[in-house]
Structure 1
């Protein structure tokens, strides 16, 4: 995980905040998530980090150095499934 980064999943959205001095905040609505991809190289597999690529509508957002990216992806998919019940 990058220093100063916060990755959170609620029952309605994915919230990602990055940066220490300058701040970037992205909120993705779960209902609009079309695809979630994990990209993890050899070092990422050894040290437990990777990148998450989320596609919503026409936008693609990539988040780098996410700790335990497959857990994060699973949590997003669980919340999407719960919201559709």
Structure 2
């Protein structure tokens, strides 16, 4: 696995942690960061807010939902990586 961010994201996909859609979203976010860092193109405030919302949602889907038990008080389940 490559040690740069692109390789790490791809490794999470290969390892079954991320879906293809999540991987694509993270690569899009990585591209925004690269433009900002290397081409000195500042993203808009609304873009940054959307990026933060996406990352927060991804954390929820990856780390919280898979461990949820007694969902809605009616059924016991374990939700795997989405």
Tell me, yes or no, whether TM beats 0.5: no
Greater relative contact order (Cα < 8 A, sep 6+): 1
The structure richer in helix per residue is: 2
Whichever structure has more strand as a proportion of its residues is: 1
Q: TM-score, normalising length from structure 1? A: 0.30
Tell me which structure has the larger Cα radius of gyration.
2
